[in-house]
Chains A and B, each alone.
Chain A
Amino acid sequence: MSFGDTGERRRASDGPLLISGLIDEETVRSIAQEAWSALVGECEFLVPQPGELPADPVSAWVEVVGPWTGAVVLTCGRSTAEQLSRELLKEHAPSVLDDEDIEDGLGELANVVGGNVKAVLPGPSVLGLPEVGTAPQARADTVRADLLWRGQSLTISVQGSAGALTDPHENHENEVPL
């Protein structure tokens, strides 16, 4: 897929851009794999296999605002996130990693994956700063890669925001304003 500003202009009647038409699971995985090989370790592999997220998952995400608007969300167990930050820091990792370091590491991985996902989508788009916590709810417009890193579950979700950039001429008479 090749995007960037092609000069193509959309019409209001075209309807919203759906992420499933813009990127696929394998592309998301391969973007993440490049990040893992470079930053986590040469021999670190993301296996495209669903696993089970533990009870205390943590998410880091970045927003993408543009012709397609949504978020790129990384979710894994807290212990997985700790291991990731430890691997990112290599010989500079302290013996005990605090929450700030763990969230920073996962947030930076979200930034790296998110920035590269954004570049595959139609532009121009703006990338938000990483946020960490309980991820925004994924809705229908989602492409999700379920991965295993060192046998631990890690999901990467590229999810559209509901109600973003709607056609102003659409009939809203049955909607309840917030």
Chain B
Amino acid sequence: MTLTATSFDWVRALVHKESAIVLQPGKEYLVEARLLPIAREKGLGDVSQFVENVRHRPDADSTRRIVEALTTNETSWFRDGDPFTALTSTVVPSLLAARGPNERLQIWSAACSSGQEPYTIAMLLEDALPDATRRVSITATDLSRAMVERTRAGRFSQLEINRGLPAPMLVRHFTRVGSEWEVSAPLRRIVTAKQCNLAAPLPRMGPFDVVYLRNVLIYFDLPTKQAILRGVRALMRPDGWLFLGAAETTLGVDDSWERVAVGRSSAYRPLKGK
């Protein structure tokens, strides 16, 4: 059963409201392909039925999954750009000035998935600092053991390395292995991957100078979001930097952070005395 015009329009409006994305007419096939697995999971034969159900009785989980299915495909490199370029333009220079010459900067990629985020950071720092392997260490964690393994291996498919990775960085930092691409050994040495459940008491790590906690808080309810932010803060240096996802904020969740503009995005820094 093909998607009705009403269903398609509803999905378009939802996606536009929740993200910056515009679904054009003619893309019904894309909506059907991306939502079919979710519809099937819910025991429904087709996407139209699923969408109609959600349209009449919206629930947070379904609407979130619809938006996600249409706005993200594979994880990309340099996702949203600024939170990464901000590292070399603003954050790291200010940290290097504040730290001693033998202090290692510690960075945490707190929902590393298959590794694009921690290796994006590693590449930037390797290109910007003459002795990155000595000056920086990156901890990459994920709930999933499989993702932790993927991050450790640093191997990516052709489709994955096509996603937002500048070609000059590809040739500088990757080699081909069979039909895949592998991050260079020095970068794999900078990144340590381990499993971590953000919603559980955090293991002892850090203290971190920079934390990337992007597009993961959205999975949790408010009390858990608050607990996670408290836990993250406890593992950060008092003058550290926290980066959230493009559409995320601590506003209304945790008032112990100060929002700071960095380039065209924002970072959050622990507020003194809170």
A83 contacts B by Cβ under 8 Å: no
Q: Does A116 contact B33, Cβ atoms closer than 8 Å?
A: no
Are A90's CB and B33's CB within 8 A?
no
In contact, B176 and A34 (Cβ under 8 angstroms): no
Contacts of B176 in A (CB 8 A): 2, 4, 119
Residue of B nearest to A90 (CB): B29
Kindly list chain A residues whose C-beta atoms are within 8 Å of the C-beta of B29. Answer: 90-91
Q: How big is chain A's contact interface, by range?
A: 10 to 19
Docked CA distance A43–B176 (Å): 27
B26 touches which one: A1, A2, A91, A116 (CB < 8 A)?
Answer: A91
Interface string of B246-272 (1 = CB under 8 A from A): 000000000000000000000000000
CB distance from B214 to the nearest CB of A (A): 24
Q: How far is the CA of A31 from the CA of B180 in the complex (A)?
A: 10
B86 contacts the other chain (Cβ, under 8 Å)?
no
A1-58 contacts to B (CB < 8 Å) = 1-2, 4, 27, 30-31, 34, 37-38, 41-43
Q: Which residues of the partner chain B approach A127 to less than 8 Å between Cβ atoms?
A: none
- The CA of A30 and the CA of B159, in the complex, are separated in Å by 12
Q: Answer whether residue A135 sits at the interface, using C-beta atoms and an 8 A cutoff.
A: no
- B residues within 8 A CB of A165? none
Contacting A at CB under 8 A, from B166-224, are 175-179
Q: Would A30 and B179 count as touching, CB distance under 8 A?
A: yes
Contacts of A138 in B (CB 8 A): none
Given the complex, which residues of A lie within 8 Å of B104, measured CB to CB? none
Q: For chain B, give the interface size range.
A: 10 to 19
> What's the Cα separation between A160 and B159 when bound, in Å?
28
B1-44 near A? 1/0 per residue, CB < 8 Å = 00000000000000000000000001001000110100000000
Task: Let me know if A2 and B159 touch, CB within 8 A.
Answer: no
A41 to B26, CA, bound (A): 15
Residue of B nearest to A92 (CB): B26
A23-B36 Cα distance, complex, nearest whole Å = 35
Does B158 contact A34, Cβ atoms closer than 8 Å?
yes
Min CB gap B208→A, angstroms: 35
Chain B positions within 8 Å of A38 at CB level: 159
- From the candidates B34, B36, B158, name the one contacting A116 in the complex (CB within 8 A): B158
- Do B178 and A120 touch across chains, with their CB atoms under 8 A apart? yes
Please give, as numbers and ranges, the residues of chain B lying within 8 Å of A120 by CB-CB distance.
178-179
With contacts A41-B33, A43-B33 known, is A34 near B178, CB below 8 A? no
Q: Please indicate which of the listed interface residues B158, B176, B177, B178 has the most CB atoms of chain A within 10 Å of its own CB.
A: B178
Among B157, B177, B179, max chain A CB count under 10 A is at: B179
CB distance from B40 to the nearest CB of A (A): 11
Q: Which residues, 81 to 136 on A, are CB-close (under 8 Å) to B? A: 90-91, 116, 119-120
What 4 A-B pairs are tightest by C-beta distance, nearest first? A91-B26, A2-B177, A1-B178, A42-B33
- 6 intermolecular pairs with C-beta atoms under 8 Å apart: A27-B178, A34-B159, A38-B159, A42-B33, A90-B29, A116-B158
